[in-house]
Amino acid sequence: MRKLALLLTAPLVAAAGLLGTSVVALADSQTTCLSLPNCKTVTIDGDGKLTSGSTSGNINFTGLAASTTYTAPDSIEALGTSHQYVGGSYTLSFATTCALGSATSSSYTVTGVIQFPSNYPTPPATSGTLPTITTDASGNFNCNYTLTYPTIDNTNDSTGGNGHLSSVRNDIWAMSGSTVLTQTASFSVEPDGQPPTSIPEAPLPILIPVGIVLIIGAGLVVWRRKLFATS
């Protein structure tokens, strides 16, 4: 009977563990480049989303012209039945000192535009003074940044058709006039807040089903011993 109790307990404990760790996930950030050589990392909010109005990270461009300045429009892209750049006021603030090259921070406005997949990655329409990046003598740029942008909700997003986002990501371009030299984007974050780089954290409630199973198992063992003692 003891062996039977253990056999019953083991799979239930394992199942409870799997259930618990799949419910809660830690909000995390993309701390490494996923699409080298050009890439953009982001920090997601406490709900595991990229919708709260601010993100920070690192921008990396390679293979551009040496010691050249480019405009760098940066926007949030909402992904649903079509691509849409979230319109509103943006501020791209670069670190005072960049790892490679240099940059100028700026505030500007993005016009929300529906972009169908055949047009992507066409940059969004903007107004105001765009931020700039300047490459080093090898044509490379690498700098930390902070971007503030409009909080994303159903008032400025209509990509899903049913009022719901499929995912959100952050795009940036390096442009010479109206010509796009290169473009890169962060990873996509699902609106339900499941960050792709986080490690699931077992919540405290997982102890409840485990405890119940252990109590049942112990009860079976005690009952079996009493049964032998009276026989």
For residues 178 and 70, membership in a common domain is answered with yes
For residues 126 and 220, membership in a common domain is answered with no
Instruction: Please count the structural domains in the chain.
Output: 2
For residues 94 and 161, membership in a common domain is answered with yes
Q: Return the amino acid letter for 204.
A: L
For residues 110 and 223, membership in a common domain is answered with no
For residues 155 and 52, membership in a common domain is answered with yes
- Strands 141-148 and 88-94: what pairing? antiparallel
pTM for the model stands at 0.69
Mean pLDDT value across residues 196-213: 44
Q: What is the pLDDT of residue 93?
A: 98
For residues 47 and 149, membership in a common domain is answered with yes
Asked whether residue 133 carries a pLDDT value surpassing 70, the answer given is: yes
Distance of CA 224 to the CA centre of its chain: 53
Q: Is residue 89, in this structure, part of any structural domain at all?
A: yes
For residues 165 and 52, membership in a common domain is answered with yes
* More confident: 107 or 47: 107
146 Cβ neighbours under 8 A, 6+ residues apart:
54, 55, 56, 92, 93
For residues 120 and 160, membership in a common domain is answered with yes
Task: For residue 174, list its beta bridge partners.
Answer: 182
* More confident: 158 or 180: 180
Mean pLDDT value across residues 136-160: 85
Q: What is the pLDDT of residue 83?
A: 79
For residues 6 and 43, membership in a common domain is answered with no
Q: Is residue 69, in this structure, part of any structural domain at all?
A: yes
Mean pLDDT value across residues 97-116: 93
Mean pLDDT value across residues 14-19: 42
Q: What is the pLDDT of residue 102?
A: 98
For residues 50 and 121, membership in a common domain is answered with yes
Q: Which domain holds residue 220?
A: 2-24+202-230
For residues 115 and 216, membership in a common domain is answered with no
pLDDT digits (tens, 9 = 90+) for 31-88: 677 666 899 999 988 878 888 899 999 999 999 999 999 999 999 998 877 778 889 9
∠ CA 167-64-38 to the nearest 5 degrees?
30
For residues 58 and 137, membership in a common domain is answered with yes
Q: Is residue 14, in this structure, part of any structural domain at all?
A: yes
Closest CA to 70 of 177, 183, 145, 171: 177
Task: State the DSSP string of 112-132.
Answer: -EEE-TTTTTPPPEEEEPPPE
Question: Is-contact 93 105, C-beta < 8 A?
Answer: yes
Distance CA 103, CA 208 (A): 53
